[in-house]
Amino acid sequence: MFGDDTLDSALERIDDWERSIADRAEQARALALRASALSATARSRDGLVEVTVGAEGQLVRLRLDEQTRQQSSAATAESIMETLQAAKDHLLRKFEEATAETVGPDSETGRALTEALHRRLEPPTEPTSGHR
């Protein structure tokens, strides 16, 4: 019913497909490993606030210069929030670089993961309930 050429061609396509899946899985593992090790640090314009965020955008370090005592708490809070967002933006850029170097920036996986991280890192639009 099928010639040897057709069978050989089908088997070759299956082998190519299996290699492609294995390659993509390895790329995804490489991205996961790199992404889990990412962090980013930003410093305020005046240098009084330094913030470091971890791989998920969580605050892992906050350094306040002693000179922050000379300004209002509102000014310090605003500086912390701005610097935190700058660190998150830097983290997103690092993740985009890692994505481009592993799974590719135009891959479905790369686009989905980058978009998900972007949504998690974007600044809040309003205060969370119960906090002022």
Q: How confident is the model at residue 42 (pLDDT cuts 50, 70, 90)?
A: very high
User: Which DSSP state fits 65?
Assistant: -
Cα angle 123, 110, 12 (rounded to 5 degrees) comes to 170
Q: Give me the number of domains the chain comprises.
A: 1
Give every CB contact of residue 104 below 8 A, 6+ residues apart in sequence.
27, 110
pLDDT for 60-85, tens place per residue? Answer: 999 999 999 999 999 999 999 999 99
CA quadruple 69, 72, 77, 78: dihedral, nearest 10: -130
What is the per-residue pLDDT for 81?
96
Domain of residue 64, CATH code: 3.30.1310.10
Residue 22 belongs to some domain of the structure = yes
- C-alpha to C-alpha distance for 35 and 56, rounded to whole angstroms: 9
Q: Are strands 40-43 and 49-53 parallel, antiparallel or unpaired?
A: antiparallel
Region 47-70: what's the mean pLDDT? 97
pTM of the entire structure? 0.78
- Find the domain containing 14 and state its range: 4-121
